[in-house]
Structure 1
Amino acid sequence: MELMLYTLRTVAYAIVDPMHLFMLVALGIMFYIKNRRISIMQKMTIGESINSPLELTLSQIALGIIAGAIVSIMLSGFGIIFNENSGIEIMFMISITLLFIKKRYMGFAYSGAILGAISIFSNILAELTKTESYINVNILVLMSFVGLIHIVEGILIMFDGRRGAIPVFTNKDNKIIGGFAYNRYWALPVALFIAITSDISSVTTSAVATPDWWPIINRPGALLLLSSAIIASIPLYGVIGYNSVSFTKEKNKKPIYSGIGILIYGVVLTLIAQVASFGIVGQIIVVAFAALGYELMLKIQNKIEKSGKYLYVTDDNGVAVLEVAPNSPAFESGVRRGDKILEVNRNKVTSEVEIFRTIRENFGEISFRIKKISGEIVDLNIIPKNKRVGMLLVPRMVKADSTLSVDNDDFKKVLEEMKRKR
């Protein structure tokens, strides 16, 4: 219990300390700028913003702090300890740097593999030159840490990855397909245990007595380290993100599938990390698996995505509803995402043009015959508000010069392209 409270105090220190608070504010501003673009894109596609930039940002910060506390407690429970010259802070720097270079590679799977490879190379070079290695991270501990991070990341994506999703379209098999693009980030204050043989740094909190059963991971080596060091907890900020596009999964289900895949990867990596205790060969295997295993997990998820059935397609049976704005006339009447509009004012419809024309030409109530996603056919009456009903429909066809590509790594380019085509 004392160890857990000590860990939580370190996480709290990362939130209130001026220097760490500055980092949190800087990340918050960066998140807000991205979320403002998302809110604008929602308004341009749906007619109104589903999520406000402030709501998206505050939820990212709040959930990131909670996730950071959970990760920190897990790290303290397993006894993940790094020595002074492990260079573990480099992994956080690499991760944040990759966020600005290529968002796809910002995960700790890549930054951890990079740090692990640097450490292995540094140790081999030091042994050959009979010098001291400047970076000497315990690969078993490092990869166990990365595995635990991904376990919590998977849970976070399942719980919050759907928020701020943007409706998008693509052309598949000569048909316009509707789907959703996900772009979500969280800032995690993580408390790391460092074995310090010199004076405790001013950025740490007070040292704490450790229980007899601690640590669980790498017990022999860690006990040897503990015998000549003081254990202190140091807070660092990490950023994890979720970027994906789906055309075959429901909006709320895609992050669940993605989160489960990342969670499984985290569990497997944590288990495989124990192979690093068998020497240099085991360390190389674990470091290689960290990056390659993550790539394999992504490829499996992409294959599952591509093998699925397109959900939002307009065809001869009706016009598909991709999204419904909250508090809109359509939403209040009972129209939901995934429904298909069969008739408008008792006239069969085969394209969105017929629906838009009817809405523009009518000032009163409009009757819709709709096939619900469950298969039930219902009749609904909707009164447009300012010539809008609040539905985003999947078009039957689009002119080539009106289309735009979706790069889920750069929403800014998509937004600029949308503004130009408007």
Structure 2
Amino acid sequence: MPTDFMYIIVIAILLSFINTRFMCIAYGGSIICLISIIFGFPTIDTTDIMLVVATLHIVESILILFNGYRGKFPAFFEQRGEYVGGYNINRFWPLPFVIFIGDGLIRPVTLMAILSYGDFTLTFPRRKIVATSIVLFLYSSLLMVIIKLNLAPIVPPIVALIGHEFIIYINKMREKSRIPMFTNTKQGVRVIDISKRGIAKDIGISIGDIILTINEVTVNSSKDIEEIESLNNINWRINYFNMNKGLSTKLYQGNKKTLGISVVPRGLY
């Protein structure tokens, strides 16, 4: 029933005062199911709610895989007393879905769900997004199987809650133990983001590359790059280091535009 999902909204709003990540339907849906099972109120169809929870997370895993990268932006984190570069990833998707109610005359009711993906990484964001999508798909598939097995009604919401928290905990632990990719360098500046309309994108510079010189001028900060860009050059000679290709030199001649990169700022270290 649509009223069942109103209870979830109320729980989600209350949980949001603790932490916004608790607004996920995995928490609201599971908690309202546990309340209904333990106390007998409200009277709701717990199986249908848990099926919706599992289905929406399957859809979310697919959206993360194909669209999650659009929500990434550079950020800086403190690790072992230092600041390192990385990415925050935040993405929201409004998702309408239809449920059918009634015994004799069945009629459709359209509801709206807001799916969200919040994450961070100290390495390349595409790898993290793919890994997260796979883990979330396995989690929701396992939940779907448990629901279909018709075990005790209390099992699916408990699995949903514990599984969701376990995924988040493991994710944080893995990131804390990772060797950060975007640290500062003794020479040059490390690229952490690239604009689609800049020179760097045109000539094939990648995230993680280290820019050493531009037009034979050594660069050690974003300010150095800004000063070179202010000269409005149409000819560029860029020396940089790529982990796979080693030292490389790229030439650019064309329209006047910026280099189009963000770098790890040296001033934080």
TM class by smaller structure: 0.7 to 0.9
- Relative to the length of structure 1, the TM-score reads 0.56
The partner residue of 1:359 within 228, 231, 251 is 228
Structure 2: 5+ residue runs without aligned partners? none
The 1:95/1:366 distance shift into structure 2, 3 A limit, reads farther
- Relative to the length of structure 2, the TM-score reads 0.84
Q: Which amino acid aligns with 1:237?
A: M
Query: Match of 1:283, SS?
Result: coil
CA apart distance, 1:146: 1.2
Alignment of 1:18-417 (within 5 A): 84=1, 87-91=3-7, 93-94=9-10, 97=13, 101=17, 102-123=19-40, 135-194=42-101, 196-197=102-103, 229-248=104-123, 250-274=124-148, 277-278=150-151, 282-316=152-186, 318-346=188-216, 349=219, 351-352=220-221, 355-356=224-225, 359=228, 362-364=231-233, 365-381=235-251, 388-398=258-268
Q: What are the superposed Cα offsets for residues 336-378 of structure 1, whole Å, 9 maximum, x if unpaired?
A: 22211133444555x3167337516755344321112433321
Query: Match of 2:94, SS?
Result: strand
More helix by share: 1
The 1:157/1:267 distance shift into structure 2, 3 A limit, reads same
- Contact 2:232–2:256 (Cα < 8 Å) also in 1: no
Structure 1: 5+ residue runs without aligned partners? 1-83, 124-132, 198-228, 400-422
- Cα distance in 2 for partners of 1:356, 1:384 equals 18
Q: Which amino acid aligns with 2:27?
A: Y
Query: Match of 1:166, SS?
Result: strand
Query: Match of 2:224, SS?
Result: helix
CA apart distance, 1:388: 4.0
Give the CA RMSD over aligned residues: 3.0
Query: Match of 1:313, SS?
Result: coil
Structure 1 stretch displaced more, 173-182 or 377-386: 377-386
Larger RCO (CA under 8 A, 6+ residues apart): 1
Q: What are the superposed Cα offsets for residues 43-72 of structure 1, whole Å, 9 maximum, x if unpaired?
A: xxxxxxxxxxxxxxxxxxxxxxxxxxxxxx
Q: What are the superposed Cα offsets for residues 91-124 of structure 1, whole Å, 9 maximum, x if unpaired?
A: 552476369644311211111112202211342x
* Greater radius of gyration (CA): 1
CA apart distance, 1:242: 0.7
Amino-acid identity (%): 26
Q: Which amino acid aligns with 1:371?
A: F
- Cα distance in 2 for partners of 1:115, 1:383 equals 62
